[in-house]
A and B are shown apart, each in its own frame.
Chain A
Amino acid sequence: MSASAEAGPLPAAREARPWRIWAGGGIAGLAWLAAAALVLAWPDADDYGRTELLGGIAATVGLLLLLAGLAGAPGPIARLRPAGPWLVALAAGLIAWELVTAKLDLLPRPFFVAPQALLEVFTDDYAKLGDSVLHSLLLLIPGYLLGATIGFVTGVAMGWSRRVGYWAHPVLRLIGPLPATAWLPIAFFAFSTSRQASTFLIALATFFPVAVLTWSGVASVAGSFYDVARTMGARPWFLIRKVAVPAALPSVFVGLFMGLGSSFSVLVVAEMMGVKSGLGFYMQWSQGWAAYANVYAALLVLAGMCTGLVTLLFRVRDWKLAWQKGVVRW
């Protein structure tokens, strides 16, 4: 009796829950189909190469969303549910953008580009774009890792040893707030290749926030944390590795995040100023040809790359700081 009463509600509830459409998905689907109709049916004001493709993509997205909406967003698609309003807004934005550029030609060219012109960059120049991403990453990552490592070690040493702090603090205080790009003329003069110079600058930009935040993290570890380990026989090296560093880690990650941000800006500047490859160079070069669609495409790719790296860093942080509750989501 009691057993059936306990087992009863679950399957019953599952059956009783009616099949319901995902209204947001349906509306978004219709909006995308409307955008597709506009793109395909209304003739362009000028010759554009990728109008059919753009219309096709919009129509596909619209159909898929409409289907998902009618099916009630089953399975993994359910994760799209919160994005409903955004999907509608994106379609509306596409319609507006399409109208003022390709269809009515209201905005001055070449600075304003049509959606299909942007799409054309991706379909025709993807190899060069991909190559630029690769070169940017190959320049950024070694410099970032170098700066982060040196910054971390410096920060720990400063937070741990009063003597290191005594000597390093004034130097850091004077040099640190200087934007790394201020070293640009010196760096390109002092290093034999622009690649070395850029790596140095990126490392420098990363170094400062990582060092400062590691230092402050280590310096603010509660003395009682050390006492606990000391009474059980811990030696200084153990205290550094197993107490100071883990206790300072939340602060270290803030430094790594800030360092990543400054490394991006140095990367782009370096690629625009001297390095003859990467997304910054691609943008600079395209702008020289007034190929603004290429500039915007590269900007979009750059944004994707930066947010991807930040996401990666936050993933690592969430994993390392799983013991913390209420960390900021990215």
Chain B
Amino acid sequence: MVNPIGLRLRGIHHAFALKGQDLPVLEDVDLDVRPGGSVALLGPSGCGKSTLLRLVAGLEPPRRGTLEADGAPITGPDPSRVLMFQDPTLYPWRSVRANAALGLEARGLIRTEGARVDDALRLVGLHEFAEAYPHQLSGGMAQRAALARALVNRPGLLLLDEPLGKLDSLTRLKMQEELVALWQREGFTTLLVTHDVEEALLMAERVLVFSPRPARVVSEIAVDRPFPRHRDDPHLVALRREVLETLGLREAA
């Protein structure tokens, strides 16, 4: 078990300077996640989901607003809040195992906790590729390696940016189950960005839907079903239609 982290965001505004102009990305975003909770973020491409995760990870400060982890303001990155990036961004000069060991190495824990690396690789099904280099991996394998690299740290808050986006549908279903089981077993807090409505409904207690850029929360759906969930659960099917409608895809539903 880990120490789950509670999250509280208030009035988050963020913008990027692009060609001398300000490009607003986040507008007045409020977000609460209970310690050990699991929240999924949905929204159109380019609306600002990855940006929000970067702010929570402490990689950059917001233009305005407050971010608190367990009541303390977030001022920088911390290994208790690990972000798994949308791009795998593996180090090409390190083998899969050495990539996964990065966090432990950075914190000087590799001697005592090194066994976790192989556990994480086994969990994502890459233990046979531990000695491979990133250029020898497929896109989906690289993504799983990045997932293992994040999991090794046993963070209290796991920020997942489309973690399963490049996997085939079968591996994807398996990894969804694994992640839910791991979350229930370890008890960390999860903030998950995905573009797959079904995935959001299967994995999260609450789903937030963002507007197109600049992102603001347009609807919030509580998914009140026990875990593990099943995709053909009629309640989830109904919710799926509702979410797709808010996303403006009436015909697709």
Contacts and interface: CB of A to CB of B under 8 A. Distances in A.
- Contact size class for A? 20 to 34
9 contacts: A228-B102, A231-B81, A233-B79, A242-B105, A321-B93, A323-B92, A323-B93, A323-B95, A323-B135
Interface stretch (A145-153, A243-251, A259-267): A243-251
B202 interface: no
Given A228-B85, A325-B135, A233 B91 contact: no
A12 B102 CA distance: 50
Interface in B51-86: 54, 57-59, 77-79, 81-83, 85
Contacts of A230: 59, 77
Greatest chain A CB density within 10 A among B91, B94, B135 is at B91
A232 B89 CA distance: 13
Given A224-B87, A238-B106, 19 more contacts: A222-B89, A227-B54, A227-B59, A228-B85, A228-B102, A229-B102, A229-B106, A231-B59, A232-B107, A233-B77, A233-B79, A233-B103, A235-B106, A242-B105, A321-B93, A323-B133, A323-B135, A324-B93, A325-B135
Q: Is the interface of A mostly helix, strand, loop or mixed?
A: helix
B102 A232 contact: yes
Contacts of A231: 57-59, 77, 79, 81-83
A225 interface: yes
A90 interface: no
Contacts of B54: 227
Contacts of A325: 135
A64 interface: no
B153 interface: yes
Contacts of B135: 323, 325
A231 B135 CA distance: 23
Interface string B149-161: 1100100000000
A262 B80 CA distance: 50
A246 B134 CA distance: 15
A249 B106 CA distance: 20
Nearest to B133: A323
A234 interface: yes
Contact of A233 (B85, B87, B95, B107): B107
- Contact size class for B? 20 to 34
A233 B78 contact: yes
Contacts of A224: 85, 87, 89
Contacts of B82: 231-232
Contacts of B81: 231
Interface of B: 54, 57-59, 77-79, 81-83, 85, 87, 89, 91-95, 102-103, 105-107, 133, 135, 149-150, 153
Interface in A196-235: 222, 224-225, 227-235
Contact of B91 (A225, A227, A324): A225
Contacts of A247: 91, 93
Given A228-B102, A231-B83, A232-B103, A324 B59 contact: no
Contacts of A225: 89, 91
B91 to A, nearest CB: 7
Nearest to B159: A231
A243 to B, nearest CB: 7
Contact of A228 (B79, B89, B105, B107): B89
Nearest to B95: A323
A246 B93 contact: yes
A303 B137 CA distance: 42
A232 B81 CA distance: 8
A59 to B, nearest CB: 50
Contact of B92 (A228, A235, A242, A324): A324
Contacts of B85: 224, 227-228
A290 to B, nearest CB: 54
A217 to B, nearest CB: 12
A232 B79 contact: yes
Interface in A159-214: none
Contacts of B133: 323
Nearest to B106: A234
A249 B57 contact: no
A233 B93 contact: no
Task: Across the A-B interface, give the 4 residue pairs with the lowest CB-CB distance, nearest first.
Answer: A233-B79, A232-B103, A234-B106, A231-B83
Nearest to A239: B106
Contacts of B79: 231-233
A232 B77 CA distance: 8
B99 to A, nearest CB: 9
Nearest to A246: B93
A222 B103 CA distance: 18
Interface string A287-330: 00000000000000000000000000000000001011100000
A230 B83 CA distance: 10
B83 to A, nearest CB: 4
